[in-house]
Amino acid sequence: MTWCLTGGVFAAQAKSDLVYKVDYLASLQPDQKGFWVTVEVDKGELLGRVLFSNAKKRFTHIKANGKLIERDDQVEWQLPKGKAKLQYFTLITHEKDKGKFDAYYGNEWAIFRGDDLVPAFHTYEKEGAYSQASIKFSLPSNWTVKSPWKNQGRFDFVIDNPERRFDRPIGWFIVGKIGTRHANVSGTSITVASPKESGMQRMEVITFFSFIWPEVKKTFGLVPEKLLILGAPDPMWRGGLSAPNSLYLHVDRPLVSENGTSPLFHEITHMITRIRGKVTDKHNDDWIAEGLAEYYSFELLHKAGGISKNRKKKILKKLADWGKDVKHLR
């Protein structure tokens, strides 16, 4: 018994020796319409080395302790032992298409994805090492922040992705003077948020979820414990964009279109299934993901009793007519 207890203590100690903390601090700079981002690691020897792309030159004024190498479009950070720190500045606003944005800083709000704050890191950890991460925002006192992550304070979130050894903030974020609605539906904490006076019908969205989300859970099985739905007006992208445990939908998009499909649950399907068609110079297989998302955007409505069987048949016929001239899928 003594040996078992001692062995358990040693095993726990060995496991804790492979855990390193990553603290992200995003400090808003209103005059510059961006954030100073600081990445602090308590055991640099466990994370070791990090590479990330800066091809679009979004990240500027990069500095770090340890060794920092910037070559062409790539940044390499070799962490020192013990406490390690990386710092840089990033602008929020990003144009997806001419005049339309998938990240935007307005006068009293900003909407962006975690990738706009922290790029995808290619990490070289010590074998078996993994992170425990959090992000804290420094914002004006009359602003707030919403994210798809668990709160641990007014401006603080725990970043925990079981699929990754290195955690970083991904998904959609909104900061500013915002309005929210919240509900717990079938075990999921759902928040709908948008800039105040943006025109988003947040209560309609929450009500919509209350009768369709149970069908989403039945259909797909695994659903997130926390879900964030964001809306924003022009000049944000006039459509929908999904991200982990979150999505964005322009405030002018209807919950259900006149053709019977739902832009909202189209993006929900993308978010949950994470199916993506491969796109190359020769082929674009994105129709696979888009076709599934469009199908479930009305199939979930049908399952929840929102549309009749006859209506579903009409939708399928219209979609078939729409694609009748397609002769090949590649």
Q: pLDDT by residue (tens digit) across 174-223?
A: 999 999 999 999 999 999 999 999 999 999 999 999 999 999 999 999 89
Which residue intervals of the chain bear CATH 2.60.40.3650?
20-176
Spatial strand order of the sheet with 74-78 comes to 67-71, 74-78, 49-53, 122-124
- Is residue 15 very low, low, confident or very high in pLDDT (cuts 50, 70, 90)? low
Q: Average pLDDT for residues 16-45, to the nearest whole number?
A: 97
- Strand 130-138 versus strand 156-159 pairing type: antiparallel
The residue assigned the tokens 């209560």 is 203
What is the per-residue pLDDT across 48-93, written as a single tens digit (0 to 9) for each?
999 999 999 999 999 999 999 999 899 999 999 999 999 999 999 9
The CATH fold assigned to 20-176 is: Immunoglobulin-like (2.60.40)
DSSP state of 161: -
| Mean of the per-residue pLDDT values of the chain | 93
Which residue intervals of the chain bear CATH 1.10.390.10?
177-330
What is the per-residue pLDDT across 250-285, written as a single tens digit (0 to 9) for each?
999 999 999 999 999 999 999 999 988 787 877 788
What pLDDT sits at residue 6? Answer: 45
What pLDDT sits at residue 5? Answer: 47
What pLDDT sits at residue 305? Answer: 95
- Please check whether residue 234 is in contact with residue 198, taking contact to mean a CB–CB distance below 8 angstroms: no
- Please check whether residue 250 is in contact with residue 240, taking contact to mean a CB–CB distance below 8 angstroms: yes
Measured between alpha carbons, how far is 19 from 181 in angstroms, rounded to an integer?
Answer: 36
The residue assigned the tokens 């797909």 is 220
Measured between alpha carbons, how far is 19 from 64 in angstroms, rounded to an integer?
Answer: 21
What pLDDT sits at residue 283? Answer: 77
Q: Is pLDDT at 100 greater than 80 in this prediction?
A: yes
- CATH class for the region spanning 177-330: mainly alpha
- Is residue 325 very low, low, confident or very high in pLDDT (cuts 50, 70, 90)? confident
DSSP string, 103-130: EEE-SSEEEEEHHHHSPPPEEEPPTT-E
